[in-house]
Structure 1
């Protein structure tokens, strides 16, 4: 799926935000994913994303292979996107689901299988 389609989907899920804000949020989620140890699952998933998103996820300067829980994930996304923690909970889910839903099922399942359970919950859009 094209970058603008993912941005549009994030905008639909969040509500009235600008494309620039949606893009900033998507980048924040990808940067935070790059920091999380997902046993190398980043690579295949990144290959299925639009190139500019895949580059963020596979950027060796960002990749640190840390272990942290969903609360820390949401905190980091919120800090990067400049939103509050409660807002980051919803926004993180909107961006992560938009990304995950737009890759082929097999790669999506492989990628998400490396998430801790609490973060995997954020790969399902629940209204």
Structure 2
């Protein structure tokens, strides 16, 4: 999936009024994913994305991911976006939804395995669409 298509899909999925807001949400979410998952897994994920997205996942190679709960995941995104945590949660779910379509199922499963059960709500809409 090309960068413009990724952003457009996030913009539509997250009901963003402006493309720039969708881009900010994508950047914030990808950077927070990078903080949460194993660094080498983030690099593998980045390899399947356009460079303008991939660059937000690099920089923690060889490091373990930080262990924080889903509430902190949303809080970190909200701080990066400059929005509240509830809005950040909606944005993160939109990004995850598009990300799941942008990479291979195996790679997305590898990413998902880096998140504990308390993140199920982040991935819940994907489970509903797979049925």
User: Does TM-score exceed 0.5, indicating one fold?
Assistant: yes
In the other structure, the counterpart of 1:7 is: 7
Residue 69 (structure 1) shift = 0.7
Secondary structure in structure 2 of the residue aligned to 1:114: coil
Over 4 Å off, 4+ runs: none
Q: Count residues in correspondence.
A: 126
What RMSD, in angstroms, separates the aligned Cα atoms of the two structures? 2.3
CA contact (8 A) 1:112 1:120 kept: no
Residue 10 (structure 1) shift = 1.0
CA contact (8 A) 2:92 2:122 kept: yes
TM-score, normalised by the number of residues in structure 1: 0.86
In the other structure, the counterpart of 1:114 is: 114
In the other structure, the counterpart of 1:33 is: 33
CA contact (8 A) 1:39 1:114 kept: no
CA contact (8 A) 2:39 2:64 kept: no
Please state which structure has a larger fraction of its residues in helix.
2
Structure 1 residue 55 and structure 2 residue 45: aligned? no
| Alignment gaps of 5+ in structure 2 | none
In the other structure, the counterpart of 2:72 is: 72
